[in-house]
Amino acid sequence: MAVKLDEPLGRVAYVNARILDPAEGWDGTGGVLTDGEKIAAAGPGLFDAGPPEDAKIIDCQGACLPPGLVDIRAHLGEPGEEQKETLASAGRAATAGGVTSLLCLPDTNPCIDDMSVVEFVARRARQLGLTKVYPYGAVTKQLAGKELAELKLLRDSGALAFTDGVRTIADPLVLRQALAYAATFGLVICHQAEEPSLAEGGVMNLGENSTRLGLAGIPREAEIIIIERDIRLVEMTGGRLHFVNVSTAESVEVIRRAKDRGLAVTCDTAPPYFSLNEHAIGDYRTFAKLTPPLRDEDDRQAIVQAISDGVIDCVASDHTPQDEESKRLPFAQAASGGVGLQTLLPMTLELYHNGHLSLLQALDLVTRAPAALMAMDAGRLKPGAPADLVLFDPDRSWKVSSDVLLSKSKNSPFDGRPVQGMVLRTVIDGRTVHTHGA
């Protein structure tokens, strides 16, 4: 859908909706009134006396209307790997998935360790007028894990937080310096935990299945050891550390104990780690080759429990587009990663459909919680907030396939899976940017 940024916006009343706002605890029949790019009013019973006469009316016909989704981890390809994804194709996939704000990882080419790249990504996304894109800044120059990038300059240019993407910072001295320096700005370091020497050469989870398939495995301890080390560094520095893509039962327990001690530690996971296990690899299926690797069933169930308990703070898409040339290879040589922007909502809703969470709790994982972690003005329906909304039917089913995925790459680990949760309309800053079937 073409977006006309200069199109005048008046007042719009979204009526007859099931209003869901985890920040306010709302779940009831009501509506939202937008005025230009902002929310003017929202809540259950809002239009019981009728909508304003001067407002355009959109009848939601009982569908769910929460804040737009906030995704705190997506690889976007541009600049440098436009054959896999561009900001435009990612924006179309994100809006089709109800994502209105996302943070992109710095592993572009050139990587985002320089002010000019931060500004390029932000400016290009604004021009497109689709999902709002906020860049991470790299923790280390060239993502090499050796020397700190100019964190303050990156922050001043618009970087919301810092990470080296899928690369673990192996040198504890470098991470200690980063945590201490970022703490002076009150910013968070996001870290994917995988001890490089233990993971080297591995392509899937280490265990009976890797032995049966004849593939080199990555032990669960590669993740756990780094998390234990990093928590010690948080204690030393007083910094804020967010672990991404947590995938093992013991990782969760270590993080749970750190939280109980009051340390500034948070974590997220991605849908593959609570919806799939290592058997999804099947007969060397490269779409299921991810980083970290899919774990065993006990770990999957532990991740579900940790989401239910609140130890895992939020869910991110970990959108990682890989083109056919990167995936159509023998399993050991294929690239890791899966697209996830359009499946973030339905896979998170599986936690609701399977009885693990209420609908409001499931939506909290992808709206209020990630926005709060990154101190973003998003993820809630308060008056004065940006008019970012998603209208969806939680029960309408569809099948994940290359025909419906709008990402430039089609490498979904959920390819062929029936899911529930259809996005009907996505609104960003008061403008409709996606309508189902349009």
113 assigned to active site = no
Report how many helices (DSSP H) and strands (DSSP E) the chain contains, helices first.
14, 18
Let me know if 416 is exposed, middle or buried by CB neighbors in 10 A (0-12, 13-18, 19+): exposed
> Which residues neighbour 363 within 8 Å (Cβ) at sequence distance 6 or greater?
20, 22, 66, 348
As to burial, measured by CB atoms within 10 angstroms (0-12 exposed, 13-18 middle, 19+ buried), residue 116 is exposed
Closest CA to 302 of 266, 269, 260, 264: 269
**Closest Cα to residue 25, out of 51, 43, 47, 45?**
43
Q: Sort strands 99-104 and 204-205 into parallel, antiparallel or unpaired.
A: unpaired
Q: Which residues, 6+ apart, have CB-to-CB distance to 59 below 8 Å? A: 15, 16
User: How many C-beta atoms lie closer than 10 Å to residue 64's C-beta?
Assistant: 21
Neighbours of 358 (CB within 10 A): 14
Structure tokens at 259: 């939280």
How far apart are alpha carbons 401 and 427 in whole angstroms?
24
53 burial via Cβ count (<10 Å: 0-12, 13-18, 19+):
exposed
Yes or no: say if 190 and 316 are a contact pair by the CB < 8 Å rule: no
**CA-only gyration radius of the chain, Å:** 21
The single residue of 113, 164, 230, 318 carrying the catalytic annotation is 318
CA pair distance 305, 240, nearest whole angstrom? 24
As annotated, the active-site residues are 318
